[in-house]
Amino acid sequence: ATILYSSSRLQLRHLVELLISTDQLIKMLSEAEESVLTSNYVNISRDLPYDSLIGEIKANKIIDDYESAELDTISHPIKRNKSLLDKLRKKPSGTFVLFCKLYSNVRSVQSQQGADLLRKIQDEKAKPARPGTDLNHITYENSNRQPAVDLDEPAKPYIKKIYRDIGVDWPKLAVELDYSQNDIKRFKVDTPNDSDEQCIAMLHNYQRKHGSSFTKSKLEKALRESDLGEAADKLLKLSL
C-alpha cells in the first residue's frame, strides 16, 4: 500500500510539472499587441463592425465555436465587442495582428481603423523597451513624495471628488456600470437640468447596490472604458 501511495504521488507530481511546463509554452499577445489593444480598447469596442467581421474571424479560427456561441448570447453591441477583445487578450502572439489585418480588409467605413491599428503595432514594436509604471508609486506633480495608491479601497469617498470631471458624460459611465437607458432617464427626471447631481445620484445608487465591491479600482476601470481617461487619471492621484 505504501509503494502504491508513493507511486501515485510521484505520478501526480509529474502531471503537475507537465501542466506547468505546458502553460509556460503558451504565449499570449506580444507586448506591442497588448499595448495597442489596451490603449484603443474603447474606440475598437465602440466602432468595430462586428457583423461584417465575425465571419472572417471564425474562418481564420481566431475564436472557436464555443467562444462564438458565447458572443452570440450578448445582444448589446459594445459589450459584445468588449467580450471579443477580452478573448483576443488570451490568444497567442500574432493573433491581434491577424485580427487587425482582417479588420483593415473588411468592407466597412471602419476598415481604416484596422489599418491604423496595424501601423500602431509596428510603431510600438519599434519603440525601445521601457520600465513599467508601478501604480503603487505614482509621483504627484510638484511633490517629491510617492504616496501609495490603494485601488482596493471603497469608491464612495471619491464620488464627490470626481463627479465634476465626469460631468455631462455620466450616462456613458452609467452604461458601463450596466444601467439601462430607462435607469438613466429616471436619474435625469429625479434631478432635472443638473448633470452633476445626476452623476452623484447614479454613483451613490451603484454604491448602495454593490457595497464594498464598488472599489476605487472598479471606478477607475469603468471611467477608462467609458472614454473618460482624464477623470480616471485624476482619480488615481486622489487620496483621502
Average pLDDT, the chain: 80
For the chain, where are the alpha helices, taking DSSP H only?
A: 2-25, 31-39, 41-47, 50-59, 65-72, 77-88, 95-105, 111-126, 159-166, 170-176, 181-190, 195-210, 216-225, 229-237
Give pLDDT tens digits for 11-67.
Answer: 655 555 555 444 444 457 888 898 899 888 888 988 888 998 999 999 999 999 889
118 shares a domain with 50: yes
Domain count within the chain: 2
117 shares a domain with 42: yes
pLDDT: which is higher, 53 or 132: 53
Span 114-125, mean pLDDT?
88
Predicted TM-score (pTM) of this structure: 0.47
Query: Per the domain annotation, does 11 fall within a domain?
Result: no
CATH number of the domain within which 53 lies: 1.10.533.10
155 shares a domain with 227: yes
Query: Per the domain annotation, does 133 fall within a domain?
Result: no
Query: Per the domain annotation, does 13 fall within a domain?
Result: no
Task: Look up the domain containing 209 and give its range.
Answer: 147-237
Query: Per the domain annotation, does 22 fall within a domain?
Result: no
169 shares a domain with 108: no
